[in-house]
Chains A and B, each alone.
Chain A
Amino acid sequence: MSKYIVRRVIGLIPLLFGIILVSFFLMKLAPGGPQAQFNQNPRVTEAQIDVWLKRWCLERESSPLSVIREFGGWLGVYNCTTESAFSESGGLNFLPAALGGGDNGIIHGDLGLSIKAGRPVTDMITERIPATLLLTITALVIWVFLAVVLGVIAAVKRYSVFDQTLTFFSYVFYSLPTFWLGLMFIFVFAVLLRWLPPQGIVTPREWPPFNSENYWAAFGAAPVDAILDIGKHMILPVLVLVLVSIAADSRFVRASMLETLNQDYVRTARAKGLPKRKVYMKHAFRNAMLPVVTNVGLELPFLFSGAIVTETIFSWQGMGLLFITGVNDRDYFILMGLILITSTLVVVFNLVADVVYAVVDPRIRYD
């Protein structure tokens, strides 16, 4: 087991390096580059552009060598202040700062500065994490619970009216474009009925922006009101996420449960006279949940990246919206940072899901 984990972790290293390469070159290949925004501005001098580029460890010329240097700067191996592989304190740049290394590059947890906002990308991403997690974790918990309940009932009452209705609606909701469903919900519940706010996380003017210092001060003063306010804003986006995701997951649970119900041991349990309910819940349910656990594990990266559509429609100030803004502004470093972080999470969660599966299911052997 531990051997397997070690082997898998070692296998991650080339994959992570690949992710770093892709996130760098995706931006590097973009026509024009970051300095393109100054092309139309006669007041910006060449020297200013050079200074400006330097802040992001970029170079104007594009020779293979300069690309390697830029990549080294992004990675943290190369130091653009000293223009060498050594940091200002003389040590090799990739070492931690305490050992005389530099502080630039992803090795040192530095994802560069946002081109638009001029702030460290790491900060901009981390301050968006609570909003995204609030939305996605709530949705995930609700949809996994409902998917399990609905899927199990559908499997137990196979081909019943309930089962067929669920099947039909899963197909419909699975197919509905998320962004359009969101728009329609906004229209019905916010514009027509005026029950719920159309967008945002908190009511503007009544509450400071979510996750700002002022907000937490206001939150401390009236926690119940604050939670109610957020709750009101959360209903629609969570509903959209839940409806769309339940569709696929309840099918998965149903299939898994059906397969288990056809197993010999379930028939044996029934044959020896155990009550139906007990057989379903004790013998079948537990075993049917094994693949479901893995499936949920594979869905965990969604917690960070999956709500991009929903966040856009509901102007939910999370990481997904940050990404969309980044794409709009051509803010290379935000995009690179977000792609890097989410891809890494995908890879790590995949590994965790595999390992958890191996732990909970003793039949699985990895040699």
Chain B
Amino acid sequence: MSEYNRALEPTAPPASRIAAVEEEGGGGGDYEVSLESLNQWQLAWRRFKRHRLALIGAVVLLVMVSMAILGPIVWPYDPTHIPGVSQPGGDPPTLESFDRIFGTDFGGRSVLQFIVVGARISVAVGFFTALIATTIGVTIGAIAGYFGGRVDNVLMRFVDLMLAIPFLFVILVAARFFGGGDPVTLILIFGLLSWPGLSRLVRALFLSLREADFVQAARAVGVSDLRITFRHILPNTLGPVVVSSTLILANAIVLEAFVSFLNFGIRATDVSWGNALSNSKGFLLQGNWWWPFFPGMVLAMTVIAVNFMGDGLRDALDPRSRES
């Protein structure tokens, strides 16, 4: 059974549906093979469900995403509204009023609101960074791996250069000099700098898949380069690429938080989870643990959820990991 599926996989329709959409608008019916009642995605979903932590991770992430979409609408944030506090440094968490459940910052602004409203920028930075970085990384890696030779050499030397320079250094400098506090610019900076590792991975996958029998066969019957790339090779790289995208996503969320924490990131009139933490260190030393604790906790939970989900996806999308 597993042998059969492996041989079928490169041309089996469901696995290549994503690629097919780009190529011919969602067609791909010409490969209809229905010997098994479960298709690739159903099998993957079955494996994913078995990974309980990954499932929990997916649910947590879903909550964060809905918070990111709805949060600022349901509970509008006004940066100029500073309610004031009853004790210096901020009010501690209390169960008496809903918006003070996680305490307040030094100006009396609700920490819970920081979390709810800040989700939008934090989650958006994660998702769009991963999107940009994956697009660039896959493109560069695919070109380098498929064509090889001089193209590969030039591209990979460039990747070497980007990997040699400490990532955090460049991010901080770029955010400080070019960021200007704008979330979109920050996403662009993160996205344009996060792809080299992924492109190396895709290149390696392309290098080995290029020589695989089914690709040779496709080439022998005269399939074009573009079609081989999108139809036969790319779908097979899906598993590792998705996993590495989730890692980029998680990293970007943490990075944004750190950069904003240092006040080089999102401007003070916007809220992100990192921004919510940014002035809290001095107050922490006075004992205001709640202010940095809760936004950081949510941040950590999101990142753990994303990483567990990535782990589950790796098992689910790898057709060879049947038994687990």
Contacts and interface: CB of A to CB of B under 8 A. Distances in A.
A26 B258 contact: no
Nearest to A313: B281
A244 to B, nearest CB: 11
B221 interface: no
B235 to A, nearest CB: 26
Interface residues of B, number: 43
A330 B261 contact: no
Interface string A3-26: 000000000001100110011001
B254 interface: yes
B257 A177 contact: yes
Nearest to A177: B254
A346 interface: yes
Nearest to A174: B307
B292 interface: yes
A346 B168 CA distance: 14
B220 interface: no
Interface in B243-275: 250, 254, 257-258, 261-262, 264
Interface residues of A, number: 48
Interface in A29-69: 29-31
A187 B286 CA distance: 9
B300 interface: yes
Contact of A177 (B165, B287, B303): B303
Contacts of A308: 168-169
Most buried by A among B176, B281, B289: B281
B166 interface: yes
Contacts of B307: 171, 174-175
| Interface SS of B by simple majority | helix
Contacts of B277: 180, 183
Contacts of A176: 300, 303-304
Interface in A124-146: none
A77 interface: no
B165 A339 contact: yes
A85 B125 CA distance: 47
Interface in A180-197: 180, 183-184, 186-187, 190-192
B304 A177 contact: no
B27 to A, nearest CB: 40
Given A177-B257, A335-B173, A19 B293 contact: no
A186 B161 contact: no
B170 A26 contact: yes
A308 B166 CA distance: 11
A290 B261 CA distance: 39
A330 B175 CA distance: 12
| Interface SS of A by simple majority | helix
A343 B174 CA distance: 16
A19 B161 CA distance: 7
A97 to B, nearest CB: 29
Nearest to B169: A339
A29 B176 CA distance: 12
Given A198-B285, A323-B172, A339-B165, A180 B300 contact: yes
B225 interface: no
B178 A22 contact: no
Given A171-B53, A342-B166, 7 more contacts: A171-B304, A175-B307, A177-B254, A180-B257, A186-B284, A187-B287, A309-B168
Interface of B: 53, 157, 160-161, 163-166, 168-170, 172-174, 176-178, 250, 254, 257-258, 261-262, 264, 277, 280-281, 284-287, 289, 292-293, 296, 299-300, 303-304, 306-308, 311
Interchain residue pairs A-B with the least CB separation, the first 8: A180-B296, A30-B177, A175-B304, A175-B303, A18-B161, A305-B166, A343-B165, A177-B254
Interface of A: 14-15, 18-19, 22-23, 26-27, 29-31, 168, 171-172, 174-180, 183-184, 186-187, 190-192, 198, 301, 305, 308-309, 312-313, 323-324, 327-328, 330, 335, 338-339, 342-343, 346-347, 350
